[in-house]
Structure formats: C-alpha cells, structure tokens
Structure 1
C-alpha cells in the first residue's frame, strides 16, 4: 500500500495552496535542487525537483511524505532522505512518468514502508 506516501505529514508545516515552485530542497546531507513543479492534491501530492548539475540536470519526483519541514520564510523544503537515496530512486522522466500509475506504484514502494530503508509510516 503506497497511498500515504503521496500525502504531506501533518507536522511538515505545509499549507495547501502555497506555491512551492522555486523553493530550495534540502536532503538530510545537503542541497539537491529546487522545486520545478508540485502538487497539493490529496493522496497525490509530490514535488518535482530540478537537480541541476547534481545528477546531471535530471529531475526527480519526491512523494509528499518525504517532506519533513517547509520553511516559507527561507523558501526551503527539508526532506527525510539522503542525497544518495534520492539519486538511487527510480529514474524519472516527466513526460513519461508524471501521470503513470505503474511508475507511481514503483516510486511509492521505493519511498514507502516496503522500500529499501523502511520508509515512514504516516
């Protein structure tokens, strides 16, 4: 079951309707890029992060459950994964994967309870 992976934690400080585009994204061990697109949709919330040169200009899709804190004053989002864990996530191609239910299930399993690092229970 991966549906809770696609929801913000109540403790994250995220306020529905806030435009997160352009916010910096910080993994537990450093910066990974900036939000290029995001969704607040209940049960389908995510961040698309442009990693710039960090992983050769690729984008990554992060489920909302990875967000541990949104700081609107500094425009920074903190996530509960390392740079390596994010880099090792299933490869994301916006035009192919953004609406793909099979990819979402795969990514949900990676970041969720059954994933390689246990994933959060939300």
Structure 2
C-alpha cells in the first residue's frame, strides 16, 4: 500500500472521473465481486465492493491503495489482496461507516498490517 491508504498509487492506471460502479474486482487469487460504490476524491479514495454470494453478500470497504491495476478495456479493478484477506476484513455498512473516521482508520490499519481487526481474525 502507498503511504496514504486513501489514495491511488501512481502506477494503477486510475483516471480521475472514471465511473467504476459495476466493474469486476479481482483479488490476487481470483474474482471477489463488483464495485458497488467508489470515490476518487484526493486523500479520500476508496472502493465499496459487493462480494455477492461469495461471502454471503458482504460489502467491504477497500482503501484506494489496495488497487494495483485498473484495466480500462476489461472494466476490471485488480486488488493486491487475497480472497482470504478480503473475507476476513471488517464488514462495511455505508449508513454507519462512510463518515466514521475511527472506523476508516481501523480499516486503514487492517490493510496496512493484514489484520487483526477488532472482532475479526487475522488472515492466514
């Protein structure tokens, strides 16, 4: 991850203003879902990924720094995390969490270290 977890890395291919909603999301070891929401605001960029039935409809908040590559032709966002890391990540509730700075710092810490998250388990 980059120094600021809420910013895209310079080599990801991210183009400000690109609507990523509905794009396929790939972890390092396979498909995890689709982008449900996103922000490309400076120092506040993130993806909300709907994992669908893969982990029972869980949505996860991924800081922009977890993005390793955006394929504009294939409409695919590649994440530098495994399925297990994403599965073990904190659950996201947009009505509670988008404005909650403490939650966002905990999210950033989870992805900086690979866990643990309060109430969750550390990825294997």
Tell me if both proteins adopt one fold, taking TM over 0.5 as the criterion.
Answer: yes
Cα offset for 1:92? 1.3
| Structure 1 residues not aligned, in runs of 5+ | 118-122
Q: Is the 8 A contact 1:26 1:77 kept in 2?
A: yes
Please give the alpha-carbon distance, in whole angstroms, between the structure 1 residues aligned to 2:69 and 2:114.
Answer: 22
Aligned to 1:89: 89
Deviation at 1:81, TM superposition (A): 0.2
Tell me if the contact between 1:90 and 1:106 (Cα under 8 Å) persists in the aligned partners.
no
After TM superposition, the structure 1 = structure 2 runs for residues 42-121 of structure 1, keeping only pairs within 5 Å, are 42-112=42-112, 115-116=113-114
Q: TM-score, normalised by structure 2?
A: 0.88
CA contact (8 A) 1:24 1:75 kept: yes
Distance 2:59 2:84 in 1: 14
Runs of 4+ in 1 over 4 A off after TM superposition: none
Q: RMSD in angstroms over aligned alpha carbons?
A: 1.4
* C-alpha displacement of 1:3: 6.7
Q: How many residues align?
A: 114
Deviations 1:58-94 (A, max 9, x none): 1110000000000011000000000000111122111
**Structure 1-normalised TM-score?**
0.89
| Contact 1:26–1:79 (CA under 8 A) maintained in structure 2 | yes
Distance 1:77 1:116 in 2: 20
Higher relative contact order (CA 8 A, sep 6+): 1
